[in-house]
């Protein structure tokens, strides 16, 4: 079985979100199951220093009226598509002032270059495209590149449906596709071209990154206008929960921590807490519950809920450490809270992997009150680090955290705290419940231990993907 991933991001070369982690780890996990995998990704500026060898594949592509000659590099199983005018830029998709204006052309070129490259090196059994940037791949496999990929099946994974790759209709000639595909059953979406819709309607199977999110996106509330399309494709829509990379995120081996620890030998966690408090300028108070939060500061992540309740919560004996960046409105509001309560909250507006690890290890609770969450990684890391997650029960959060309730506590299956309503009251109540539980040492230890025992390694997810690929190549798409 040969599977080619077409992805706009891949760890360790480029990353803006969880998609990059998936496309770094899943191919490797599949390789462990004897699947031959490769990944095709853009040669952004941040990939240029990677040791790689040149790949000979003479390719010329017309993007609208412009003839482009991409070149290729290879680092292990990863192929980079180089085309400096498009990819040798500071950001992946834009600058802090907005998206690059030529993103349609950039990702048309990327998809077509991937199709050309794979035809040269080896036509795969499965083309597995990720997110809108690769959304045209399933369409190309059925149209412009049909003869080369006649036997190839296509899978399209949605990591976040809110990012759709919408472009004005006059970008249609850039795609090289006939105008007949600008149709409400295909690429057209309210008068625009939708790259994500291309992937949804033309792929043999659609996957999203948790079973709950797969159900949610078929509803008007979470479907981002595409719920009707997704309901039509329900028979080939699968939810497969992401795994996490325990080689990087494991408190027993984490080299980024001042001290390692495990459920059996937990002492190191206290050292991590002290180090985190020190680094963030908070009082070193071992008994004060410390709440961590990491993520993009965008509407999705429930920052408005946090802002609605934080000042009230800070009246209690609690500390917060927050790491993230994003919407200037949220950044300013959070920094304002820090100015008023520097003794209780530390707000770190930056991207800092080392601090992310220290927060996971040094916090007692991890807050993730997302409005929606396709999968989410931080709550899964938190479980492994004995940092009890407090989550809104949506998408992957609902699929990975078992909320504490009388029955789950009695059975010992609870791993965190969860609330359903997207409301400040629900968040405040749940936080108070969690903070109260923190002081019941015996029950808290049990909660931590149950979380640390959870196994969300990639192997499990990779087996589900493999089953899907096998079903497709055998002629059915049932995973």
Query: Which residue is at the shortest CB distance from ligand ADP?
Result: 18
Q: Least Å distance between CB 147 and ligand ADP?
A: 37
300/423 with CB nearer ligand ADP = 300
298/426 with CB nearer ligand ADP = 298
Integer Cα distance of 243 and 77 in angstroms: 20
Q: Least Å distance between CB 433 and ligand ADP?
A: 23
Q: Least Å distance between CB 394 and ligand ADP?
A: 13
Q: Please check whether residue 23 is in contact with residue 55, taking contact to mean a CB–CB distance below 8 angstroms.
A: no
356/462 with CB nearer ligand ADP = 356
Structure tokens at 282: 């908070």
18/27 with CB nearer ligand ADP = 18
Q: Please check whether residue 246 is in contact with residue 460, taking contact to mean a CB–CB distance below 8 angstroms.
A: no
Integer Cα distance of 335 and 346 in angstroms: 9
226/356 with CB nearer ligand ADP = 356
Q: Least Å distance between CB 364 and ligand ADP?
A: 18
113/323 with CB nearer ligand ADP = 323
- Residues of the shown chain interacting with ligand ADP in the complex, contacts defined by CB under 6 A: 17-18, 21, 294-296, 323-325, 351-353, 356, 375-378
Place of tokens 């459920």: 263
Integer Cα distance of 19 and 146 in angstroms: 28
25/294 with CB nearer ligand ADP = 294
Q: Least Å distance between CB 1 and ligand ADP?
A: 27
Q: Least Å distance between CB 240 and ligand ADP?
A: 14
- Classify 38 as helix, strand or coil: strand
Q: Which of 294, 364, 366, 373 is nearest to 334 (CA)?
A: 294
Q: Least Å distance between CB 356 and ligand ADP?
A: 4
Work out the angle at residue 174's Cα, subtended by the Cα atoms of residues 168 and 178, and round it to the nearest 5 degrees.
95
Integer Cα distance of 414 and 425 in angstroms: 22
Integer Cα distance of 364 and 290 in angstroms: 5
Integer Cα distance of 41 and 131 in angstroms: 12
């Amino acid at each position: 079985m040969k599977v080619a991933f077409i992805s706009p991001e891949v760890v360790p070369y480029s990353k803006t979100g969880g998609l990059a982690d998936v496309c770094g780890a899943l191919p490797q996990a599949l390789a462990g199951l004897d699947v031959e995998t490769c990944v095709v990704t853009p040669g952004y500026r941040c990939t240029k220093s990677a040791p790689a060898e040149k790949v000979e594949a003479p390719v010329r592509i017309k993007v609208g009226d412009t003839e482009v000659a991409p070149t290729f590099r290879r680092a292990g199983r990863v192929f980079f598509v180089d085309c400096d005018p498009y990819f040798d830029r500071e950001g992946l998709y834009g600058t802090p002032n907005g998206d690059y204006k030529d993103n349609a052309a950039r990702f048309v070129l990327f998809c077509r270059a991937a199709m050309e490259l794979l035809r040269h090196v080896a036509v795969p059994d499965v083309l597995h495209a990720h997110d809108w940037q690769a959304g045209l791949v399933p369409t190309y496999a059925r149209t412009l590149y049909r003869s080369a990929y006649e036997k190839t099946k296509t899978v399209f994974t949605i990591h976040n449906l809110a990012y759709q790759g919408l472009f004005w209709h006059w970008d249609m000639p850039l795609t090289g596709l006939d105008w007949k595909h600008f149709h409400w059953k295909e690429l057209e979406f309210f008068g625009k071209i939708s790259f994500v819709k291309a992937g949804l309607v033309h792929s043999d199977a659609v996957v999203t990154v948790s079973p709950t999110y797969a159900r949610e996106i078929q509803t008007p509330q979470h479907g981002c206008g595409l719920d009707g399309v997704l309901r039509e494709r329900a028979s080939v829509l699968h939810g497969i929960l992401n795994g996490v990379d325990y080689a990087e995120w494991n408190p027993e081996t984490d080299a980024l921590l001042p001290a390692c620890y495990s459920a059996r030998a937990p002492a190191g966690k206290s050292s991590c807490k002290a180090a985190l408090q020190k680094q963030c300028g908070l009082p070193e108070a071992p008994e004060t519950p410390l709440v961590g939060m990491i993520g993009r500061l965008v509407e999705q992540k429930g920052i408005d809920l946090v802002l609605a309740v934080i000042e009230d919560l800070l009246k209690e004996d609690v500390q917060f450490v927050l790491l993230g960046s994003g919407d200037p409105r949220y950044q300013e509001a959070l920094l304002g809270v820090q100015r008023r309560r520097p003794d209780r909250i530390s707000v770190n507006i930056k991207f800092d992997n080392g601090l992310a690890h220290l927060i996971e290890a040094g916090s007692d609770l991890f807050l993730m009150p997302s409005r929606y969450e396709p999968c989410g990684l931080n709550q899964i890391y938190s479980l492994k680090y004995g940092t009890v997650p407090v989550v809104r029960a949506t998408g992957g959060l609902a699929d990975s955290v078992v909320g504490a309730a009388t029955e789950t506590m009695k059975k010992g299956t609870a791993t965190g705290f969860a609330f359903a309503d997207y409301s400040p009251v629900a968040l405040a109540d749940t936080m108070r419940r969690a903070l109260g539980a923190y002081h019941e040492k015996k029950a808290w230890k049990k909660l931590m231990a149950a979380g640390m025992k959870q196994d969300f390694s990639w192997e499990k997810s990779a087996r589900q993907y493999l089953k899907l690929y096998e079903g497709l190549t055998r002629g059915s798409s049932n995973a």
